[in-house]
Structure 1
Amino acid sequence: MAAAAALGLERGGCWWPLKRYGRLESATAGPAPGVWKVREREEKGLLSLTLVESGHFLIAQGPTLLEGFSLIEAPNWLRAERKGDCVLFGSKIKNASRMFRVQFNGDSKEQAQEHCSGCIQKLLQYINVENPNGKIQDQTPLTLSQATNSKQSETSGLEEGEVRTCSAEEEQPITQNRLCIRQLAQSMLGEASLELPLAYQQSALNTEELGPFLRLSLMDQHFPAFVEQVECELRKVINE
């Protein structure tokens, strides 16, 4: 948990020491190919790759975050290829593409490859990983408990409070068990001062978990765009 600990995150997960981290940077002008900007482990503190239990992928050198994102939807935009003790990552979101690579560290070449294999096994819970021969290691399927938890999360929240859709003309005063989705959206955007039912006043995270969760979210390079999209969708709900 080197990266997570250095960044003030005390959450479960696994970490591996890195020998090198490189990011492909675009050429400043013209059609010239990009150049690799490489960081070595001896330069500015421990270089490590961490996979947090929440599904966050972190690469850090000391307290400096080099890569940070969630792997939950990664199959849609992230690709990985292993070669020996190295892994090359490539991502494409809309029209923006980027590449970075890591080389694992160890007391010997064999140990470095073992560290790489251990990381790959964890990554396979989220994405496919290609080998140099073109063979793809498939994602590990969800366990029964994970599938059950996912199903429960889809149906939770309907017992203690009911949310329904309605137009502005149909809005009624909020009761303890009934809430209009338009009113909820207005409350979340701070456009209405409403006393929400008790079911909506309780957080699923306790105080100890909230801080690390917010830190992980802010480190996710996709989080700002996600927040903007959520706000846009909430405004669509209000204007329906």
Structure 2
Amino acid sequence: MRSRSGEAGFTGPGVRSDLRVKVEERERGGIVVDLVSRVEAYYGNAIRRQVRDQLEHLGLESAHVTINDMGALPFTIAARVETAARRAGLLDEHHLDTLSEPDRAPSERRRLRRSRLYLPGNDPKYMVNAGLYGSDALILDLEDSVHPAEKDGARLLVANAIRRLDFGPAEIMVRINQLPVGLEDLATVIPSGPDLILVPKVEDPSEIEEVDRTIARMLEELGWQRPIWIMPILESALGVEMAFDIARCCDRVVALTVGLEDLTANLGVPGSA
């Protein structure tokens, strides 16, 4: 019988701060890690230890893990290893981890949100130093910048980045996918403690109400008191027409924003050359 296996991450020319991981099923023998890395002499033992500790914490006692490292930091290693193990079908269904509430200050409702820097949710190299650029907010994007086949890996990468990286004073936003896929995003990223959720292509208050209920339920299960705000994105004529009702549908909404490319396309306005 062929053993189950799963892969995640990227390697090759132009790839930085990432790794390619393969996790294969083993019946016994513990967790074996084969590592290829330019920093093997300095960090090889630490990488192997992190992988073993993580998989054991996730309930996996035996596995063969192959890693081709391209300078990945611990948050990326954690995300890629878990993604590969889940793709292999070696872990239980996702469950809400018992995590402590983030120790950074909660975001204020009326804070400035003048500038927002978008970061592709499945590329760690853009996340590492994102806090240095001084934007009011950082948007970790799970929607347009992520290929459909990589949504699962991007969710875990974004969640680990929020938990493990220092983004400075920037407000940490996550743009989820359009519902219902966005609800899967929330299940993974809310326990990491983002400040705000961007909801794309909103056309009806019921969409925001569903996101609000999901966030409220998860925060209650976590036992957290910190707020997580919502910013709907209006990207169609109908969304603009419903803007007032969308804005006032729940207390968690702090602002509206417009997706200009999709809105102009929906209105039939020619794009700029």
TM range, normalised to the smaller chain? under 0.3
Using structure 1 for the length normalisation, give the TM-score.
0.21
Higher helix share: 2
Q: Which has the higher strand share?
A: 1
Please give the TM-score of this superposition, normalised by the length of structure 2: 0.20
Q: Which has the larger radius of gyration?
A: 1
